[in-house]
Amino acid sequence: MSLMNKMGPRQLQLMAGWSKTVATFGATTAIGFIYFSDWRVIASHIPFYGGKFKPVEE
Protein backbone atom coordinates (compact mmCIF):
# COMPACT_ATOMS: atom_id res chain seq x y z
CA MET A 1 0.00 0.00 0.00
CA SER A 2 1.12 3.48 -0.80
CA LEU A 3 1.49 6.12 1.86
CA MET A 4 -0.89 8.37 -0.07
CA ASN A 5 -3.63 5.74 0.20
CA LYS A 6 -3.38 5.75 4.00
CA MET A 7 -3.62 9.52 4.33
CA GLY A 8 -6.86 11.41 4.20
CA PRO A 9 -7.62 14.97 3.17
CA ARG A 10 -6.96 16.28 6.68
CA GLN A 11 -3.43 14.85 6.76
CA LEU A 12 -2.69 16.33 3.33
CA GLN A 13 -3.96 19.70 4.54
CA LEU A 14 -1.70 19.53 7.60
CA MET A 15 1.30 18.60 5.45
CA ALA A 16 0.63 21.54 3.15
CA GLY A 17 0.56 23.89 6.13
CA TRP A 18 3.94 22.69 7.39
CA SER A 19 5.70 22.63 4.00
CA LYS A 20 7.07 26.21 4.18
CA THR A 21 8.30 25.69 7.73
CA VAL A 22 10.05 22.44 6.84
CA ALA A 23 11.63 23.99 3.73
CA THR A 24 12.90 26.99 5.73
CA PHE A 25 14.30 24.75 8.46
CA GLY A 26 16.02 22.54 5.89
CA ALA A 27 17.57 25.49 4.04
CA THR A 28 18.79 27.03 7.30
CA THR A 29 20.30 23.72 8.37
CA ALA A 30 22.11 23.34 5.03
CA ILE A 31 23.51 26.88 5.17
CA GLY A 32 24.57 26.38 8.80
CA PHE A 33 26.32 23.13 7.90
CA ILE A 34 28.24 24.82 5.08
CA TYR A 35 29.18 27.77 7.33
CA PHE A 36 30.35 25.76 10.32
CA SER A 37 32.08 23.01 8.36
CA ASP A 38 33.92 25.54 6.14
CA TRP A 39 33.19 23.45 3.06
CA ARG A 40 35.57 25.24 0.73
CA VAL A 41 33.89 24.13 -2.50
CA ILE A 42 30.68 25.97 -1.59
CA ALA A 43 31.87 28.58 0.92
CA SER A 44 34.34 30.09 -1.56
CA HIS A 45 31.38 31.31 -3.65
CA ILE A 46 29.64 33.13 -0.76
CA PRO A 47 30.16 36.91 -1.16
CA PHE A 48 32.48 38.50 1.46
CA TYR A 49 32.91 35.17 3.29
CA GLY A 50 34.62 33.50 0.30
CA GLY A 51 37.45 36.05 0.38
CA LYS A 52 39.13 34.24 3.24
CA PHE A 53 40.14 31.44 0.86
CA LYS A 54 43.24 32.33 -1.11
CA PRO A 55 43.52 31.00 -4.66
CA VAL A 56 45.61 27.85 -4.95
CA GLU A 57 48.81 28.42 -6.89
CA GLU A 58 50.00 25.52 -9.00
Residue 42: which residues within 8 A CB-CB, separation 6 or more? Answer: 34
**Residue 46, pLDDT score:** 72
**Residue 12, pLDDT score:** 84
**Residue 3, pLDDT score:** 67
Nearest to 45 by CA among 29, 58, 57, 31: 31
Q: Report how far residue 19's alpha carbon sits from residue 10's, in angstroms, rounded to the nearest whole number.
A: 14
Per residue in 7-56, pLDDT (tens digit) is: 888 888 888 889 999 999 999 999 888 778 777 777 777 777 666 767 76
Beta strands in the chain (DSSP E): none
DSSP letter, residue 53: S
pTM for this prediction: 0.55
